[in-house]
Amino acid sequence: MIDKYDTLILYQLFKGGRMSKSPMKINYNEKNELTNFREICMGNMKNGVIYRGSYPVFKIDKERDDMYTELVLEAGINCIINLAGNEKDVEALASLVPWYNILLLNKNVIGLDIQFEFDFSDKFEYDIFNYRLRQGFKFLITHDGPYLIHCNAGADRTGFVAAIIELLFGASIDDVIYDYLLSYGKEFADAKDKELNFITGRNIYGQINVVINGKINDSDNLQANIETYFLEKIGLTIEELGMLKEKLT
């Protein structure tokens, strides 16, 4: 839940341009805009290790699909965490995309089947959500990258996972929200004075606030509070969290 103080801070973020003080480290161009495929690299993360994207093939825009393949091959993707699909969905996708099929045959793809409308207020759903995230992160640390995390649009499920990874490695909440908004296009992300932009940014802001027990304004301890979420809610061990950090830094 976002209180009035949170809303004020978030509003100032968009109206005051605080994000411009902490420029993005990642490249972003027309290909990234069309595919929603881009690098996750903030804080002390290593370049060229983990990427995010939308569904790898739409079958309605060959130019877009070809660009996606080009970006995947340039990045050297070796491991995929499919947030949206179950085992059958992953197999169906692999039958359409040769590079995806190779990774599946090499047992480098996992489907987590996370629902689009994840409700953190429902304890049962929240526990399932965190359990599946634990499966995904355990898969990541036992496989070699570079990694690709994707769902369908590459915005909400992928956006949340990207956000908690970015915060784990010391990104500012400003940059995390901006990266989330980039999923809707750079023009949208840069329109900080637009109401729809503000409402959309509030979604990820609110989700992060929930998983760290309402402590999002404790900026000095934001990274530590995200670590607590990984350990106590997602359920990684301290050793596994260390392995995750080692993989990405």
**Domain ranges within the chain, ordered by starting residue:** 4-248
Neighbours of 131 (CB within 10 A): 14
The pTM for the full model equals: 0.90
pLDDT class of 87 with cuts at 50, 70, 90: very high
From its phi and psi, is residue 131 left (phi > 0), alpha (psi between -120 and 50) or beta?
alpha
Q: Which long-range contacts (CB under 8 A, 24 or more apart) does 106-111 make?
A: 108/78, 108/79, 108/80, 108/143, 109/79, 109/80, 109/82, 110/80, 110/81, 110/82, 110/135, 110/136, 110/139, 111/82, 111/84, 111/85, 111/86, 111/87
pLDDT at 110 over 90: yes
pLDDT for the residue numbered 118: 85
- pLDDT for the residue 60: 86
Cα 187 versus chain centre, distance: 20
For 4-248, CATH gives 3.90.190.10
What is the rounded average pLDDT of the residues 24-33? 78
| C-alpha to C-alpha distance for 86 and 60, rounded to whole angstroms | 23
pLDDT in tens, 188-235: 988 877 888 888 999 999 999 999 999 998 989 999 999 999 999 999
- Token pair of 52, please? 């995010």
What whole-number distance in Å separates Cα of residue 67 and Cα of residue 77? 14
pLDDT in tens, 142-196: 999 999 999 999 999 999 999 999 999 999 999 999 999 999 998 998 887 788 8
- 65 neighbors 59 (Cβ within 8 angstroms): yes
- Per-residue pLDDT band at 19 (split at 50, 70, 90): very low
Q: Are 114 and 132 in contact (CB under 8 A)?
A: yes
Q: Give the list of residues 6+ apart from residue 28 with CB closer than 8 angstroms, or none.
A: 38, 182, 186
Tell me if 17 sits within 8 A of 177, measured CB to CB.
no
Confidence tier at 32 by pLDDT (50, 70, 90):
very high
Angstrom distance (rounded) from CA 41 to CA 39 = 6
241 pLDDT above the threshold of 90: yes
DSSP 8-class letter at 46:
P
Task: Please say whether the beta carbons of 79 and 140 come within 8 A.
Answer: yes
